[in-house]
Structure 1
Amino acid sequence: MSPQPTPQPSGTGRILSVRQSLLAMLGLCFVTMLVAVDQTVVGTALPTIVAELNGFELYAWVATSYLLTSVITIPIFGRLGDYYGRKPFVVASIVVFTLASALCGMADTMLQLVLARALQGIGGGMLVGTAFACVPDLFTDTHVRLRWQVLMTAAFGIANAFGPSLGGFLTQYAGWRSVFYVNLPIGAISLYFVWRFLPHIRQIQRGKIRLHWQGAVLIALGLGSLQVFVELLPVHGASFYMVLLGALAVAAFFALVFWEKRCPEPLLPLEMFRNKSLAALFCLSLFTGFIMFVLLFYLPLLLQGGFGLTPQEVGLLITPLVVFITVGSVANSRIVVRLNTPNHILYLGFGLMVLACLGLVFSGKATSRWMVVIYMMMAGTGLGFVMPNLTVFAQESAGRALLGISTALLQSVRMIGGMLGMAVIGTLVTHYYVSIVRLSLPEARGAPWLSLLEDPQVLVSQSVQSDFMAHLQRLSLQGDAFIETARAALVSAVHLGLIVTLLMAVLAFAWVCRVPVIRLSRTVATVGPGSGEQP
C-alpha cells in the first residue's frame, strides 16, 4: 500500500477546507476533553474510592502512577510523531486511554486501580505528546492557527470547569466506577472524528529511520526517577535512599546527553537547548506549571481550611480561575496577532499573575468575596495569555523538523514545574503549619490530641473535625478555640507558600526578556478569482 500523500497548504494558512478543518479540530477537542475530564473528575471521587477499596496507603499513587508514565511518554511520542506522523499515535492513544479507563472502572483493589492508572498515563502521554502538535500541521499560518487553537483551549476550559461538579454528581448518584466509564463515550466520539477527518502528515520525509531504544530508556529512567524523587522527598526527607534516587536521576540525564550527542537520529535533539528562544520558553513553561498547580491545589485549601468556607462556596470562587484561562486565550488570539512584538503579551500575562498572587497573599477571612473573584479572574486571564503563546512561540522557534518534540517537551516541562511546585510548597506549608500550631499551643505539648490538630485534614473534613471535637469534649476541653488557632496557622502557612509562588511569578516576568523577538509567520498565496479565499 502506497503512503498517503501529505496534504499541501492551500495558501490560506490551512491544508484542509474550512469544513474539514472544523471536523478535524473537533476530533482534537474531544481528545483534549478526554484527558481534561479524567484529570478533574478522578480527584473528586478518590475519597469514595479509597473508602470502598480499603487502600489508603496507595491514595497518592492513584495520581502519581498516571503522572509518572505520562511524563515519560510525552517526549518520546512527541519525537516519534515527527518521524512517522502524528495520526497513528493519536489513534493509538485514544484506544489505550479508553481501554485503561474501562480497566480502572473494573478495579477491585487499589493496586489494580494504580496499575490501570499507569496504563492510562501512557495513553495520556501519547495523546499530549502528539495531539497539540497536530494543530500547526493543519494550520501553517500562525495567525490562522491562533484562531483555531481557541477551540482546543475552550474544550480544555469547559472540561476543567465542569469536571469537579460532574465527578461529584456521578460519584453520588451512579457510583465511583462511572467516573471512569464516562471516558468510554468520549473516547468513541474522538476516535471517530480523528480516524475519519485528521490527515496523516509526516514532518520529516526520509527513507528508513532507525530509532535507538537506549534514548527512550534513558528518558524514562531520568524522568521517572525525577518524578518519584519529587513525590517522595516531602515524606522521606533527605534520607540515604532519596539521595540515591536523586543521584540516579542526575546520572540518567548525563548519560542521555552523552548518548544523544552521538546518535544520528536522537529522540531528544540537543540543538533545541542551544536555541536561545526554546531554552527561554522551556524555562517559562516550568515557571507557569509551578504557578498554575500551586494555585489550583492550594487556593482551595486556603479558602476551605483557612477561611472556613463550604466546599460549594470554594467551588464558586475557584471556577473563575479555570474559566478565565479560556477567556484569556480567546482574547489573546485577537490581541497577539496585532502586536509588532508578540513577546509583549507574555509580560502582560505574567504581570497579571504577579498582581493576582500579590492580592491573594494579602487576602484574609474578612476580604470581600468579589475581590477574591477578581484575583481569580486575573490569574486565569494571565494563564490564558501565557500558555497558548508559549506553545505557538516554541513551534515558531523550533521549525518543522522539531515541531512535535518541542511541543511535547514544553508540555512535559510544565508538568515537571507543577510537580516541583507541589513538592516545594507542600513541604513548606506542612512544616510551617505544624510549627505554628505547636508554638501557639505550648500547653498542649505531649497531648495525644495535638497530632490530630497538626493534620490540616481536621480543617477540611467535617467527619474528622467532628471526631476531634468529640474527643476534646470528653476531656472537658473546648475545641472551637483550637480549631480557630489551627485555621490561623493554616492561613499563615499557605500565605507563605503564595509568597514563594509570587516570587516565581516575578522571576517569570523578568525572564521574558530572555526570549528573542518572535515573528509570527504568515502564509502568502495568490488567490484566483471567485475562489472566495482571502490571503
Structure 2
Amino acid sequence: MAVHTAAHHSSGQVLPFRESLLAMLGVSFVTMLVALDQTVVGTALPTIVAELRGFELYAWVATSYLLASVITVPIFGRLGDYYGRKPFLIASIVVFTGASVLCGMANSMLFLVIARGLQGIGGGMLVGTAFACIPDLFPDSVVRLRWQVLMSSAFGIANAVGPSLGGFLTQYAGWRSVFYVNLPVGLLSLLFVLRYLPHLRQTAHVGRMRLDWPGALLIAIVLGSLQLFVEMVPKHGLTPTAAGLLVASVAGGYALWRWELRSPHAILPVDMFRNPGLNALFTLAVLGGFSMFSLLFYAPLLFQGGFGMSPKEAGLVITPLVVFITIGSIANGRIVSRIRNPNLMLYVGFTMIACACIAIAIATRSAPRSMLMTVMIVGGLGLGFVMPNLTVFAQQTAGREHLGIATALLQSLRMIGGMFGTALTGTLVSHLYANGVRGALTADNAAHWFPQLADPQILINRDAQTSLIGELAHAGHNGEALLEAARDALVGAIHLGIAVAAAIAVVAIWQSRRVPPIRLRRRVEPTVQAD
C-alpha cells in the first residue's frame, strides 16, 4: 500500500471543496444511521416490550446496545489511528445494518436484547471511527466547526423524523418496521463511504503493527462486569455473584492500568488520563451521557404509560428534544468560535439540561402539550451546546497522536454514563412502580391481581387494559381506579428517575469549572493518505 502526505488547502482542509463535501456526506449518512436508530427505537420501545413481554429486560434493550458500543468504541478508535478509518467504517455499516434486520425478526425479548448487542458492536465501530474522520479531513479546528454543521444537519434530519416516524410506524406498520427503516439508510451510507471517503491515516507505520488484544479483552471484562453489577445490585442486593462481578471489574481495571503502562502499542494510552484538561472533559462526557440517555429512553414511557398518549402523540412531543439538539449544535458552531471564552457554552448547556430534567420531573398529565414541547426544546438546545464542544475541546487538547482514541473515548464514556443512567432509572421505575401497584391492590383486597398489573406495559396496551378492566369488574373491583393508581405509580417512579438525571446535570455544571480555558486555534498538521 502506497502512502503519501495529502496536500492541505489554504482553507484548512485536506481535500478541495467538492471532494470534502462528498466525503462529509458519506460520514453524515453514517451518523444518521445511528441517530435514526436511537430516536426511532426509543419511541417504539414501550410497544415492543408490550408485545414481546418481559419488562425486566426493558432497560437491557438499551443497555445491551450501549454496553457493546462502549467496549468496541475505544478498540476501533485506536485501530483507526493505526490503519485509517475507512475500512472500519465500511465494516461497521455492514454489521449495524445486518443486526437491524435481526432486531426486526426478534420473537422474544431475549432475542431482541442479543440482536441489539450485535447492533451495538456495529454502532461502536461506527462511532469510534466516524467522529474521528472529521479532524482527519479538517485539521483546522475553526474550519472543522463550520463543516460539522453538515453532520449536525444529518443528525437533525434523523432526529426530526425519528420520534414521529417511530410512533407512526409502530402504530400503522408494526414495531418491526422501525428496525427495517435502517436498511435504505445503511445502503446509502455504504455507497457514499465506499466511493467518496478517502483512506486517511495520521501517521505512516513501518512494518506490521501489533494490536493490543490483551488490553481490548481487559476493557471488555471491566465494563461488562461493571454493567452486570449495576443491573444486579438494586434488584437482588449485594449477593455473592454481584460481589464477584465487582471484584472482577476492579481487578480488571487494575490489570488494565498496569498492562497499558508497559504496552508498546497501548489501546488505552494512560497518559491521556493524567492530562487535567482531558480528564475533566471525560468526566463531563459521563455526566452528560447519564442525563441525556435517561431523558431519551424514559420520557417516551412517561408520556405513553404515565400520561396516556398514543405512540404517535408521544413521538410528536419528543421530536423537539432531538431536533433542537441539532439546532443547538449548529448555533453553537456559530457562537463558540466568536466568543472569547468558549468554555462558557458548557455552563449554559448543562444549565439548560438541568432545567429541562427538573421540568419533566414535576410535569403532570394535565400539563399542556405546548409546555412539554417547550421543555423538550430547552433540553435539546442544552445538549446541542454541550456535546459538540466536548468533542472539539477533547480533540484540541489531545493532539494528533491520540486524536482517534481521545475522540472514541469521549463517545465511549458518554455511553457509559448513558448505561448507568438507563440502568439506574430502569431499576427505580421497576421497584417503585411495583411497590405502588402492590399497595393499591392490597388496599382494595385485590393483591392476587398483581401479576396482571406488575408489568407497566399494561398501561400502553389499550386492548389489554379494556380486557383487564372487564375482568376486575366481574370480580367486584373498580378496574379503572386500579389502573389509574398504577398509572400514578409509574409517573412517580419515572419522575424520581428523571430528578436524579437533573441532579447529575447540576453536578456537571459544577464540574465544568475544571476544564482549562480552551482556545480554538488554527492548526494544520500533515495527514497521510493511503491508496
State the TM-score, normalizing by the size of structure 1.
Answer: 0.90
Aligned to 1:75: 74
Aligned to 2:16: 17
Report how far residue 406 of structure 1 moved: 0.7
Per-residue displacement from partner, 1:301-353 (whole Å, max 9, x unpaired)?
32233333333332221111111101111110111111111000111101111
Pick closer, same or farther for the CA change 1:150–1:237 going to 2, 3 Å.
farther
Aligned to 2:161: 162
* Percent identical residues: 62
Aligned to 2:490: 490
Per-residue displacement from partner, 1:223-269 (whole Å, max 9, x unpaired)?
22223333444444432212212221221111100100111220000
What is the aligned length? 524
Q: How many angstroms apart in 2 are the aligned matches of 1:195 and 1:366?
A: 51
Report how far residue 186 of structure 1 moved: 2.3
Aligned to 1:258: 258
Pick closer, same or farther for the CA change 1:353–1:173 going to 2, 3 Å.
closer
Per-residue displacement from partner, 1:478-534 (whole Å, max 9, x unpaired)?
222222333333333222222222211111111100101011121489xxxxxxxxx
Per-residue displacement from partner, 1:178-218 (whole Å, max 9, x unpaired)?
54444333223222222222222222333233223211111
Pick closer, same or farther for the CA change 1:7–1:167 going to 2, 3 Å.
same
**What is the RMSD of the two structures over their aligned residues, measured on CA atoms?**
2.8
Per-residue displacement from partner, 1:444-493 (whole Å, max 9, x unpaired)?
36621144344422322213322321221111222222223333333332
Aligned to 1:85: 84
Aligned to 1:153: 152
Amino acid at match of 2:149: V
Aligned to 2:30: 31
Amino acid at match of 2:460: V
The 8 Å contact of residues 28 and 152 in structure 1, kept in 2 or not, is answered as yes
Pick closer, same or farther for the CA change 1:49–1:300 going to 2, 3 Å.
closer
Amino acid at match of 1:261: L
Aligned to 1:528: none
Q: How many angstroms apart in 1 are the aligned matches of 2:380 and 2:147?
A: 20
- Secondary structure of residue in 1 paired with 2:130: helix
Pick closer, same or farther for the CA change 1:62–1:379 going to 2, 3 Å.
closer
Aligned to 2:366: 366
Amino acid at match of 1:415: M
Amino acid at match of 2:387: M
Aligned to 1:420: 420
- Secondary structure of residue in 2 paired with 1:266: coil
Report how far residue 108 of structure 1 moved: 7.3
Unmatched tracts of structure 2, length 5 or more: 526-531
Q: How many angstroms apart in 2 are the aligned matches of 1:231 and 1:215?
A: 24
2:477 aligned with 1:477:
yes
Q: How many angstroms apart in 2 are the aligned matches of 1:456 and 1:166?
A: 23
The 8 Å contact of residues 12 and 524 in structure 1, kept in 2 or not, is answered as no
Aligned to 1:95: 94
Q: How many angstroms apart in 2 are the aligned matches of 1:58 and 1:400?
A: 41
Q: How many angstroms apart in 1 are the aligned matches of 2:128 and 2:49?
A: 31
- Secondary structure of residue in 1 paired with 2:195: helix
Q: Which moved more, 1:42-51 or 1:441-450?
A: 42-51
2:407 aligned with 1:407:
yes
Pick closer, same or farther for the CA change 1:367–1:227 going to 2, 3 Å.
same
Amino acid at match of 1:195: L
Q: How many angstroms apart in 2 are the aligned matches of 1:211 and 1:290?
A: 31
Aligned to 1:246: 246
Pick closer, same or farther for the CA change 1:498–1:191 going to 2, 3 Å.
closer
The 8 Å contact of residues 139 and 524 in structure 2, kept in 1 or not, is answered as no
Amino acid at match of 2:308: G
Q: How many angstroms apart in 2 are the aligned matches of 1:60 and 1:349?
A: 27
The 8 Å contact of residues 332 and 384 in structure 1, kept in 2 or not, is answered as yes
Pick closer, same or farther for the CA change 1:232–1:9 going to 2, 3 Å.
farther
- Secondary structure of residue in 2 paired with 1:469: helix
Amino acid at match of 1:29: S
Aligned to 2:529: none
Q: How many angstroms apart in 1 are the aligned matches of 2:385 and 2:103?
A: 35
Report how far residue 142 of structure 1 moved: 1.3
Q: Which moved more, 1:240-249 or 1:224-233?
A: 224-233
Report how far residue 18 of structure 1 moved: 1.2
Report how far residue 374 of structure 1 moved: 1.5
Q: How many angstroms apart in 2 are the aligned matches of 1:251 and 1:484?
A: 47
The 8 Å contact of residues 444 and 450 in structure 1, kept in 2 or not, is answered as no
Q: How many angstroms apart in 2 are the aligned matches of 1:112 and 1:25?
A: 35
Q: Which moved more, 1:149-158 or 1:430-439?
A: 430-439
2:452 aligned with 1:452:
yes
Q: Which moved more, 1:470-479 or 1:253-262?
A: 470-479
The 8 Å contact of residues 55 and 455 in structure 2, kept in 1 or not, is answered as no
Per-residue displacement from partner, 1:51-98 (whole Å, max 9, x unpaired)?
998998877655554333222111001011111111221122223333
Report how far residue 370 of structure 1 moved: 2.1
The 8 Å contact of residues 92 and 123 in structure 2, kept in 1 or not, is answered as yes
Unmatched tracts of structure 1, length 5 or more: 526-535
The 8 Å contact of residues 325 and 381 in structure 1, kept in 2 or not, is answered as yes
The 8 Å contact of residues 93 and 126 in structure 2, kept in 1 or not, is answered as yes
The 8 Å contact of residues 325 and 384 in structure 1, kept in 2 or not, is answered as yes
Q: How many angstroms apart in 1 are the aligned matches of 2:519 and 2:400?
A: 15
- Secondary structure of residue in 1 paired with 2:401: helix
- Secondary structure of residue in 2 paired with 1:338: coil
Amino acid at match of 1:147: R
The 8 Å contact of residues 163 and 316 in structure 2, kept in 1 or not, is answered as no
Q: How many angstroms apart in 2 are the aligned matches of 1:281 and 1:232?
A: 29
The 8 Å contact of residues 341 and 517 in structure 1, kept in 2 or not, is answered as yes
Pick closer, same or farther for the CA change 1:386–1:51 going to 2, 3 Å.
closer
Amino acid at match of 1:120: Q
State the TM-score, normalizing by the size of structure 2.
Answer: 0.90
2:506 aligned with 1:506:
yes
